[in-house]
Structure 1
């Protein structure tokens, strides 16, 4: 079953953010856009490249009203240690949530139960707490934060402009489509 257009489930987690531990829950998302960026584990290989890439785009996302949560089944203590020992991870200013019980990962149906690790998955949640976008890749395939920013812009455009849709490779400012019988067979 797809999680698209479903409400996120309640969660509580402690995260490491800006040198401190902070508690988070689904209530913190009310009225806001949010990205949940799951990755398998701290102190690994592809994960820091993705998290660093996302850190490079974090201010753009914040300017769009989007909060980012990096999530793995590591603890918030492990996130702190990684943040302090890796130059790439050290530049992260978005919350890194610890999910050692796998609750959040299960809620998003991204947990590898046999390993206790999250798959590499990205979820965009709208201000109503509804999942609008998800992407899951295999362990060795890293994600692209610039493409994620483009997709967030498309989701926000569609929300603000009911009846409009964004075609493939749509970039902000380009033409959109109005679905209707007049377009059938014309594209």
Structure 2
């Protein structure tokens, strides 16, 4: 399967997951989530029982309800098995609030699709991908193993992407938050962005 790029439609896929809310295993289909009109955030991380990873998932868990209220489904993904996810969730105190599905990409197929699979280690790099309800990849962020992410910034990106879905003729400037001024690209705006944001 060819690596998906920004602006392209994401091919359908299924993932085995551990669902902490229910305490059981199941399968998640991208198609099923999109049919509900939801946005999807895939949150790849290197491995269970490591060091930066539980801090990232704990941070993300703090914003999960807010993201759900915005129509977003989160799936964390690593190349570990669903059994390892269950064991890690039960033993690592930082994961106590984690209730989003934890995907098991044991073959690396989904990690390769999004360009985060490290062939040398068999692990996924830290990748965050936003898929809109039409199945289009609209945002991509990839970090190396030793740099953790900020879930608050993910919320900001989601606010902007959701706004722009219904306002496609506008653009969100740096650090934009809901309710703030946006930009309307045109010939008149060239060289006048400062004035437009005042």
Normalising by the residue count of structure 1, what TM-score does the alignment of the two structures yield?
A: 0.97
Q: 1:71 touches 1:96 (CA, 8 Å); kept in 2?
A: yes
Deviations 1:136-175 (A, max 9, x none): 1111111000010000000011111120110011011100
Within the candidate set 25, 32, 47, 1:21 is matched to 25
Residue 71 of structure 1 is matched in structure 2 by 77
Residues matched between the structures, number? 187
- Any conservation in 2 of the 1:61–1:149 contact (CA below 8 Å)? yes
Aligned to 1:109, what secondary structure does the other structure show? coil
Structure 2 residue corresponding to 1:167, chosen from 152, 170, 173: 173
Q: Matched residues in 2 for 1:125 and 1:184: separation?
A: 30
Q: Is the 2:47–2:123 Cα contact (8 Å) retained in structure 1? A: yes
* Alpha-carbon separation, structure 1, partners of 2:90 and 2:32: 26
Corresponding residue SS for 2:162: helix
Q: Deviations over 1:11-48 (max 9, x none)?
A: 22210112110111221222210100000000001100
For residues 1-187 of structure 1, the aligned pairs below 5 Å read 3-17=5-19, 18=21, 19-30=23-34, 31-187=37-193
Structure 1: 4+ residue segments shifted above 6 A: none
Give the secondary structure class of the aligned counterpart of 2:134: coil
Contact 1:125 1:131 in 2 (8 A): yes
CA contact (8 A) 2:77 2:104 kept: yes
The answer to whether the Cα contact below 8 Å between 2:125 and 2:142 also exists between their aligned partners in 1 is: yes
| Conservation of the 8 A alpha-carbon contact between 2:4 and 2:10 | no
Deviation at 1:10, TM superposition (A): 2.5
CA distance in 2, matches of 1:77, 1:64: 30
TM-score with structure 2 setting the length:
0.91
Corresponding residue SS for 1:44: coil
What CA distance in whole angstroms lies between the structure 2 residues aligned with 1:164 and 1:128? 19
- The CA deviation at 1:2 is 7.1
